[in-house]
Amino acid sequence: MARFEIHSIHATSPEGVDDDTWLDVIHKMDDVYSQLLHDEVALEQKNAQLEASQQLIYSLLSSMSDVLVAADAQGMIEQTNQALCDLVGRTEETLLGTPMHTLLHEGTGANLLQDMMRRNAPRQGETVELILHDAAGQPVPVDITATPRFDGRRRCIGYVFVGRPMAEIKRAYRQLHEAHEELKRTQQQLLHSEKMSSLGRLVAGVAHELNNPISFVLGNVHALNRYTVRLRQYLDAVHVEAALGDHPALAALAQKLRIEHILQDLPSLMDGTIEGAQRTASIVDGLKRFSALDGEEREPVDVVPLIERAIHWVRTGMKLDFDVELQACPGCMMPGNAGQLLQVLMNLIQNAYDAASAQPGVSPVLKICAKREGNFLVITLHDNGPGIAPEAMSSIFEPFFTTKPVGKGTGLGLSISYGIVERHGGTLTAHNHPRGGAEFVLRLPAAQHTD
């Protein structure tokens, strides 16, 4: 090829130009052509690398879960990513060239955004919560950081905003917190149930051991009381005989031994002993009921008439005067033992009255609400008393724990009620109501609906 070109040029070369000169020109042209080919290949390689880099950047921006906005110094949007487009429900084409503040929900946080952009060098790691609007126009909290962009002369030419929508994270954190609190409550209930079960076994043995000697003491005291009446009659006769027979020594001995005082004091002593023995027997009976296993058959129980009966019995039987507001659900049925559930309700109503009436100048009021929640019947009893002291909250269902004055309660009512409710497959909990007073909550399995 080169020889052909040389020959052709040699045949047509103008006068005064020799062949060597033409050969040099041809070689120079070949070199230039080769360099052009090399530069073209290199340019194509650079273009390919540039396209690959652009594709990588685009894929990175598209795969980011955080929203990204590049804006100029005046806050006009120059670049976005897919996460922002999905969040606000707009395409990138409609976002380009629009002000940043158009992303805000009803202009909320515009001052914060302007403050971030006024500073040429935002503080390192500064995060600001801005409220954007989503595709449905609803507010979405987004934690945004801003980073300035500089040109070669270190002049600020724009900003890069990176944000993370916090609604889902906050919702997940709230659900996690609620689950953790529920787990703690469940754990406390399990520990309490295990403790009550252990106490039940212990109490059953103690009650059995105490029952016989208490019965023995009570029977003997009743016998002594009868004997005391007879001895008094005999001693009265002896004193009369001594007085008639003029026995000064016997009269002096009676006075020295204070026989008359003893005879007057014996009835009250015997009555007090009988009362104490009966109270002890009552406590032992409560212990037996606290630890007893429920072997009775269950039957359908209508909760509303049961609550009304408990209110009536507490009011009339104990002559208590207080207001009771009942919000009931008709047809609230459950399988259970009506007598035991009545005992629980009467105990809770009595406790509510005692707590509310302990405050001077306050008329006792009890609000009772019965409703169905899924497969459970929920009965709440809210009184207007002083509430439960924090130090008593963890011990309120334990046997022999009471806040009442000495002699006013055995401390077994709530523990027995707790055991009855637990054996019915339910729960009994207590807390202080936000509007004051204590609230006890009964959750009992409801009867299944039948078609």
When pLDDT is cut at 50, 70 and 90, the band that residue 295 belongs to is very low
Listed residues 274, 291, 308: the one ending a domain: 291
**Is residue 206 assigned to a domain?**
yes
**Is residue 450 assigned to a domain?**
no
Domain co-membership, 286 together with 308 = no
**CATH number of the domain enclosing 417:** 3.30.565.10
Mean pLDDT of 3-14: 46
Tokens standing for residue 18: 């020799």
The distance of Cα 25 from the centroid of its chain, to the nearest Å, equals 92
Amino acid 152: pLDDT? 79
Listed residues 137, 165, 193: the one ending a domain: 165
Tell me, what DSSP letter sits at residue 411?
S
The pTM score is: 0.41
In the predicted structure, residue 218 carries a pLDDT above the cut 60: yes
**Is residue 423 assigned to a domain?**
yes
Domain co-membership, 47 together with 95 = no
Listed residues 259, 291, 323: the one ending a domain: 291
Instruction: Indicate the helix (H) or strand (E) that contains 288.
Output: helix 259-291
Q: What are the distances in angstroms from CA 239 to CA 227, 252, 257, 288?
A: 18, 11, 13, 49
Instruction: Indicate the helix (H) or strand (E) that contains 165.
Output: strand 156-165
Number of domains present in the structure of the chain:
4
Amino acid 49: pLDDT? 77
Cβ proximity of 221 and 273 under 8 Å: yes
Residues of the chain with pLDDT > 90, as a percent, come to 6
In the predicted structure, residue 96 carries a pLDDT above the cut 60: yes
In the predicted structure, residue 288 carries a pLDDT above the cut 80: no
Report pLDDT digits (tens) over 181-191: 877 766 666 65
Residues in the chain: 451
Domain co-membership, 282 together with 390 = no
HSE-up (13 A, CA, CB side) for residue 369:
11
**Is residue 308 assigned to a domain?**
yes
Determine the structural domain holding residue 387 and report its residue range: 299-445
Mean pLDDT of 417-426: 86
Mean pLDDT of 207-230: 75
Domain co-membership, 158 together with 183 = no
Instruction: Indicate the helix (H) or strand (E) that contains 69.
Output: strand 67-72
Report pLDDT digits (tens) over 349-373: 988 888 888 777 778 889 999 998 8
Domain co-membership, 323 together with 430 = yes
